[in-house]
Amino acid sequence: MAGRHPNTCKIVAQLRPATSRRAVSGIVEVCNRMLIHARWPRWAAGRCFRRRAVVHWGLALSILTAGFPLSVPSTYAGHGFALHGDLKYPADFPHFDYVNPAAPQGGTLTLANPDRRTSFDKFNPFTLKGTAAPGLTSLMFETLLVSSADESASAYGLLADDVTVAPDQLSVTFHLRPEARFNNGDPVLAADIKYSYDMLMSKSASPGYRSMCSDVKAVVVTGERTVRFDFKQRNAELPLIVGQLPIFSKKWTSKTPFEKLTFEEPVASGPYRIERFDAGRGIIFQRNPKYWGRNLAVRRGTFNFDRVVYRLYKDETARLEAFKAGEFDAIVEYRSKNWAKSYVGKRFRDGSLIKTDFPHRNGAGMQGFVMNMRKPIFQDVNVRRALILALDFEWLNRQLFYGAYRRLDSWFSNSELAASTTFDGKPGPGELKLLEPLRRELPPEVFGVDVVQPTTNPPRSLRDNLRDARRLLAQAGWTYADGALRNAKGEPLVFEFLDDGGAMSRVITAYVRNLEKLGIQVHQRTTDFALYQKRLEDFDFDMVSIRFPDSQSPGNELRDRFTTEAAGTPGSDNLFGLKSPAVDKLVDAVLHAESRDDLVVAGRALDRVLMHGYYIVPNWYSASHRVSYRKELSYPARLPYFYTAEGWILSNWWRNDLAPRTQ
């Protein structure tokens, strides 16, 4: 993906030569405005740190100044970074548009466990072993850059006040804010950035960090408050990736090695500290009265509560009843049946509790039943296609979901990157340019129309789909005999569906019934959250239900999800065991796209190949967040575009029973 330097030719006052940091003269502004209004190519108008743009910029200067020599700096620094196009917010912006800068601050926000963890045993969210307390990453750990929720792939300085991309795009340098402090009072220095990076790249940390930063060659401390990330190759997303790595102090591990940290409070720079906790019941965070960043534009109107409390509940039923009884303040509901049937009663009728659907523009990502191809029974594509045919989405949506969902038909559903968004369903010229060199490695169907998910809407039926599934299974060597589907050796087709006892249980049960009609034996195994996570990290499962996060601008996370290297890395997102040189090359094409248009083409080509691989039984998605909350809570009038409901509540909401503050 192609990186674009922020607002390089849009508002010149936002730019500072990295070599001198002096004010830019008025004539430079004229030249830069000329580049925009003359409608120069996008690479010139949006990427002035590129060598070609600098040449044209200098040429324009020489013409306008009629021979008066001016030096042209080869590198520019700015207040943020945009992967495609220009940043929305100028350097002197007061706050993000989707926050309320006058929101009253104070009071307590009480939440339930945001996932199915019912206890925790550490305050280190970055290592694989153990279960971290909820809220740590959002409330305690900060990053060099912070994303904007109304732009895709744009970020602004948080710990850093200056980000500089080299002309050859092989490095990025960050300058740290002098006022940035850890919660122990120490300044945040370049050495802390390097130390944090080294710990996250160690084998003690989650392998996802190493995968995302695989193109980082070195981290070099160039001054007390300047640090440079050197890259192995041009990868325009890297400034965003390294800019959003969590930062912490070496003093956190002064007495205990990083991988053995348990309940040592993190020495970090975020707005909250841990007040007290009970590993089996919950944790309380208290706002740090000495928080260094409260007046930053990227923090104004955010984190408005004095305390944030997480209470842990043993199951979803107990959690919902606790909310209705007033034990906590807000809940995000993922079960359509609950939303339709359970959010009723006196407190909803009298307005004490409110339920609202909040629309969003998030890509749908992918949710589905993952087949682990490390297991022999899933290695035949015909078996995988048959298992997909056995899911009756229309019945589920009608009987269980109250018609709330749409079927996923892509790894990038609800996005222009989906292969299904092409006019005739076939690969266009741009896709073919990427796919043709890989033809020998790909099934011929990839070059035809995109995959259409099976349906049971008339004139089709579940019976029709199961007949098709049986034919595919027979082609794979599985035929019905002696009460089961068996291979040539007489072995039955048996596998385990691993579940953590959540909302998918009734869906899995319905799906298993259809598989049994084919003669497939499925053992449903329900386990607790900690063991479930451990088995996923070790790839110790046959089939499992997973949701992969969405992205408006997919990048290095694809390496951790789809590449051959990740398939052999415990803890990676490549749960499928996918090892495909063609997919590896298409992931690289996405990562090295030179424009948004190139990204869309590469994304569609990758999506087309993944869908024709049939590695997952696609589920469904919704284009809104379902949130219920107490009437004492309020949220900004303008919603963000791209957001998670939990993160939005935590960072942007406030109590309306407090006096408003003056701006």
Q: What is the DSSP letter of 624?
A: E
- 503 phi and psi angles, rounded to 5 deg: -70, -15
**Whether the domain at 142-269 and the domain at 366-484+549-621 fall into the same CATH topology:** no
Contact between residue 552 and residue 363 where contact means Cβ atoms under 8 Å apart: yes
Dist CA 414 CA 640 (whole Å): 17
Coil, helix or strand at residue 241: helix
User: Could you read off the pLDDT of 84-99 as tens digits, one per residue?
Assistant: 778 999 999 999 999 9
Q: What is the pLDDT of residue 420?
A: 80
- The model's pLDDT over 195-252, given as tens digits with 9 standing for 90+, comes to 999 999 999 898 889 988 989 999 999 999 999 999 998 888 899 999 999 999 999 9
pLDDT tops 90 at residue 416: no
The pLDDT value recorded for residue 150 is: 92
pLDDT at 648: 97
Q: Could you give the angle at the alpha carbon of 571 between the alpha carbons of 152 and 495, nearest 5°?
A: 110
pLDDT over 80 (residue 172):
yes
Bridge-based pairing of strands 620-621 and 616-618 is: unpaired
Q: What is the pLDDT of residue 481?
A: 92
Q: Is the pLDDT of residue 175 over 70?
A: yes
pLDDT at 73 over 70: no
Q: What are phi and psi of 37, to 5 degrees?
A: -70, -20
CB burial class (10 A; 0-12, 13-18, 19+) of residue 528? middle
Mean predicted confidence (pLDDT) in 6-17: 33
Q: For 314-361+623-655, CATH number?
A: 3.40.190.10
Least confident stretch, 34-38, 265-269, 301-305: 34-38
pLDDT-based confidence at residue 345 (cuts at 50, 70, 90): very high
Q: How far apart (Å, rounded) are the C-alpha atoms in residues 546 and 369?
A: 6
Mean per-residue pLDDT, 36-49: 29
**How far apart, in whole angstroms, are the C-alpha atoms of residue 655 and residue 633?**
5
Between CA 403 and CA 408, with CA 404 as vertex, the angle to 5 degrees is: 100
What distance in Å separates the CA atoms of residue 98 and residue 110, rounded to the nearest whole number?
23
The answer to whether 621 and 361 are in contact (CB under 8 A) is: no
Would the pLDDT of 635 be above 70?
Answer: yes
Q: How confident is the model over 464-471, as a mean pLDDT? A: 97
Domain 366-484+549-621 has CATH 3.40.50.10190: no
pLDDT digits (tens, 9 = 90+) for 489-498: 999 999 999 9
Q: Please report which confidence band the pLDDT of residue 49 belongs to, taking 50, 70 and 90 as the band edges.
A: very low
What confidence tens digit (pLDDT) does each residue in 525-550 have?
998 888 998 999 999 999 999 988 77
How is the chain split into domains, by residue range? 12-74, 142-269, 314-361+623-655, 366-484+549-621
**Helix/strand/coil for 272:** strand
Torsion angle (degrees, nearest 10) of CA 279, 280, 281, 283: 10
| Global confidence as pTM | 0.72
Lowest-pLDDT range, 58-67, 260-269, 271-280, 493-502?
58-67
- Topology of the domain covering 142-269: D-Maltodextrin-Binding Protein; domain 2 (3.40.190)
Residue 261 token pair? 């940290």
Which of the pair, 358 or 18, is modelled with greater confidence? Answer: 358
Using CB atoms within 10 Å of the CB of residue 46, give its burial: 0 to 12 exposed, 13 to 18 middle, 19+ buried.
buried
Which is more confident, 660 or 81? 81
pLDDT the model gives residue 363: 79
Let me know: does 654 contact 92? Beta carbons within 8 Å. no
Q: What is the band of 423 on the pLDDT scale with cuts at 50, 70, 90? A: low
588 pLDDT higher than 50: yes
User: 3-state DSSP call for residue 170?
Assistant: coil
The reported pLDDT for the residue numbered 474 is 97
- For all residues of the chain together, what is the average pLDDT? 86
